[in-house]
Structure 1
């Protein structure tokens, strides 16, 4: 099940550029040298190269957690995609805080980042590098296109490139569209042009990818294209000013009718299976049936200081016992604000002597409260300020720990697209006038709530279903999975004073900020090397 990421260690090239002079266009004479020609000599070898494209969303280099990185001059662990996704899409919101004083981290809480922020630079480079990997693969694999498997590989590469561009569009707005390896400085494209490109790619590859569930775990099929279309159509009005909610409904329905299903029964045969989505064996305990696209990790074969290792270790501190979460220590960083905890107020079953909640009937309220303060007085290295979140663990369904006997690296795969998101996309698009069925929307929401509560006692009806309810349900269901900033922007809450949370805009009680911050700035380093680029407004 970890096949693709084991293979990535066999791939020793990054992006190959063709020399301009014929006398430099030579192959090495050393028979031990593995060249690009060897990589694309057959479909089997091409699959190893494909693994590198998937690994671009999970790993950071060629040798493991540190050393020989894909991106130089940056902290390698902090340059990993899902870790960066957490920083950019969770830390500036009501779902998370981090007390580390590392340069650039406090700016996300304060919402005063600049074009020189290291994390913004790292995310831009990570996504642009993924595009380059995909372009190189597509260019080279085309020679093997008569092979059916290679046709699938090329379609997968095109999906992964579109996925990377969906985030470049979300975070930075206007970036170049590059579809082949070149040393020419690209021209800047508009957000509308990027949206059109991503949409067109997904519409085309949906018929070129394998059928639903027809490929091995860790690789995408046509349902991934439908799911990403659902996502970009939901955000189209925000990104390009175009109402595409009916298309969101259409493609959400296609996903929901596919072979992927909500995981409702855990490995022990019980009805409450939410927590098993985030355990170390979530590639095999039933959760995999809900995962449409994942970043895969293995504590032995694919190690990084980002990924689920970051999500588990950085959330442990204070009085918490690290071994209970399958790891050998804690980094005492990430906690939650009371705004996220308050989303579960209807499910409180116990409180402390001060009246603060300590237990909930909703299993998605995965908060550690012992010794933790409900209120955060100031964002600092004091980990006990704010409840801890123990959603991600390096524990398997049978209670054993992950594969790394030293408990240094985590096995848990990180879902990038799962069916629950599509349920919520559907409900929101229906409420925004996209057609579909209110009855079905209520049914999908209740499926998620029945899984969370273990029964139907907290189901809703049509009168309860409104846009703010869906936004809160997204927080309950998708917390810490890298959606929140995008969701708040779509609702008009991210920068406005309409909805405040602790330390929004750097103020203890929260304040509104300038609206231009719905986009991140183009990193200064990018503008320096490419004079064809102009900075986003406000920066």
Structure 2
């Protein structure tokens, strides 16, 4: 952000007034929309392995990146993320900070440009206002992410303001976090009735329903951010989305994540990845075994990195219940044995068992460690033998939530990646109602809507364990688990964010936010490091 704004602030101002006019740009809605792209581009980092998604997933109990000999050692960053010993110098933390502030900077620049052509009289306020409101909402979305991940961060809204000289709202961490919360809230509320209400025409863009959703997320975690709960406000904004009639649950859970998932009635905000026009969604190569190309006819060799935590995979299987209508066999237990029990359709989130090519032949890995009992035929088991240094190359359930396209030529997927989804709306409303009244019948009904679609038995009552567990099963790899674990801290018998888990000791609650990157501290002496780092 510093590089972008410090180097050419004056020149950009002159260019806007002298060159960007109605005579050469901003004459049509299409030209406004084209300009918006710069503000959305940082979202492409969601699909890769260098920033926000992996930062949030690998620090949760969902995902682990075990060191497989020399593979995925990477200076120990994945081990540190898993064990919550991450540092201000870790690149993935710096990348996340840069991505979000790049989005803020681009939004500020475009707001400045749009306002300039209005002030010059070349474009009417009416024509520009919806686009300016959209940019303010997108900027607030980035600040919501900064609030959640880093806490007390500088608030920069003026394109001509030098961010390298900008201080946080307060030297007190909690006061500063309160100020960021209030900024995000006020911005979103101010633009709520100014942004577009269209759903189909704004795929991949911020509209009124994205604003409602971001406000609901903000209020859902308000007690973590500010110390004051806002459950009524969660209900208000989830109701706005529900009552709009624009969204509903897909009959089949997996259809939300197919290759051709654009326009799902469950999608509220997505990133419309495309292997040609919007690259960056690399999940299939991030997670699959290096020899799995024949299983999918991939044109690129996968990297064999991201695995599902054993216990998290096991949370989908309840052998104590009666088998579901699809049959007795559910899948593999954490040790790799076949189990029977209630069929949870969301087990398709994972790839386990023998890895077969497209002709049904088992793929072999002659390079497996002699200690690996499941080689050379590749058999993915939920069990992972160790975090480091010699995790088995085929250990761990692989992430199959997004359909893997047969014959995909490169390392970029064509699926739209979900940021906000209607199922989360129902679960957020249910949680808010339950927190205000643990016996609320509507809360139970909403959760059971989700369970019914997953083909599992309904709950007869709700508690913290059931709510957290259902959010985990439904919203796997949707960048909510770290946030949920922090919000439910101390309330459940399940994994808690700062408690010890597999290959991780108890961590300091200060780890609920990430450190401000070291190079940002060095560039801006007005920044104060977060507590505990």
| SS of residue in 1 equivalent to 2:346 | coil
Structure 1 contact 314–334 (Cα < 8 Å) conserved: yes
Over residues 372-409 of structure 1, what are the superposed CA-to-partner deviations in whole Å (9 max), with x where a residue is unaligned?
Answer: 233222124533222222111233xxxx66xx6x2432
CA shift for structure 1 position 516:
1.1
> Would you say 1:280 and 2:240 are equivalent positions?
no
CA distance 1:214–1:338, change in 2 (3 Å)? closer
Structure 2 partner of 1:89: 56
Match of 1:393 among 379, 385, 403: 403
> Would you say 1:215 and 2:201 are equivalent positions?
yes
Counterparts of 1:250 and 1:200, CA distance in 2: 16
Structure 1 contact 58–296 (Cα < 8 Å) conserved: no
Counterparts of 2:224 and 2:31, CA distance in 1: 42
CA shift for structure 1 position 20:
4.8
Greater mean alpha carbon deviation, residues 98-107 or residues 231-240: 98-107
Greater mean alpha carbon deviation, residues 210-219 or residues 466-475: 210-219
| SS of residue in 2 equivalent to 1:382 | coil
Structure 2 partner of 1:186: 166
Which aligned pairs between 1:425-504 and structure 2 lie closer than 5 A?
A: 425-433=428-436, 438-453=440-455, 458-461=457-460, 463=461, 465-492=462-489, 499-500=494-495
Structure 2 contact 290–303 (Cα < 8 Å) conserved: no
CA distance 1:497–1:205, change in 2 (3 Å)? closer
| SS of residue in 2 equivalent to 1:257 | helix
Counterparts of 2:149 and 2:16, CA distance in 1: 40
Structure 1 partner of 2:360: none
Structure 2 partner of 1:377: 385
| SS of residue in 1 equivalent to 2:244 | coil
Counterparts of 1:419 and 1:460, CA distance in 2: 20
Structure 1 partner of 2:416: 413
TM-score by length of 2: 0.80
CA distance 1:333–1:439, change in 2 (3 Å)? same
> Would you say 1:301 and 2:281 are equivalent positions?
no
| SS of residue in 2 equivalent to 1:177 | coil
Counterparts of 1:150 and 1:16, CA distance in 2: 27
Counterparts of 2:444 and 2:243, CA distance in 1: 16
CA shift for structure 1 position 147:
5.2
Over residues 1-48 of structure 1, what are the superposed CA-to-partner deviations in whole Å (9 max), with x where a residue is unaligned?
Answer: xxxxxxxxxxxxx769765599x946999xxx9999955565442221
TM-score by length of 1: 0.79
CA distance 1:530–1:440, change in 2 (3 Å)? same
CA distance 1:260–1:319, change in 2 (3 Å)? farther
Counterparts of 1:116 and 1:98, CA distance in 2: 19
| SS of residue in 2 equivalent to 1:479 | coil
CA shift for structure 1 position 293:
0.9
| SS of residue in 2 equivalent to 1:417 | strand
Runs (5+) with no aligned partner, structure 1: 1-13, 66-76, 266-272
Counterparts of 1:504 and 1:35, CA distance in 2: 57
CA shift for structure 1 position 345:
2.1
CA distance 1:17–1:377, change in 2 (3 Å)? same
| SS of residue in 2 equivalent to 1:56 | helix
CA shift for structure 1 position 78:
4.6
Structure 1 partner of 2:182: 196
Counterparts of 1:156 and 1:17, CA distance in 2: 27
Structure 2 partner of 1:528: 522
Structure 1 partner of 2:367: none
Counterparts of 2:450 and 2:416, CA distance in 1: 21
Structure 2 contact 489–497 (Cα < 8 Å) conserved: no
Structure 1 partner of 2:368: none
Counterparts of 1:175 and 1:93, CA distance in 2: 23
Match of 1:362 among 328, 344, 349: 344
CA shift for structure 1 position 150:
2.6
Greater mean alpha carbon deviation, residues 443-452 or residues 517-526: 443-452
Over residues 457-503 of structure 1, what are the superposed CA-to-partner deviations in whole Å (9 max), with x where a residue is unaligned?
Answer: 61223x2x12210100011000111111111011116xx99755899
Structure 2 partner of 1:259: 245
Counterparts of 1:210 and 1:513, CA distance in 2: 43
| SS of residue in 2 equivalent to 1:90 | helix
RMSD between superposed Cα atoms in Å: 3.4
CA distance 1:214–1:341, change in 2 (3 Å)? closer
Counterparts of 1:123 and 1:476, CA distance in 2: 25
Structure 1 contact 299–410 (Cα < 8 Å) conserved: yes
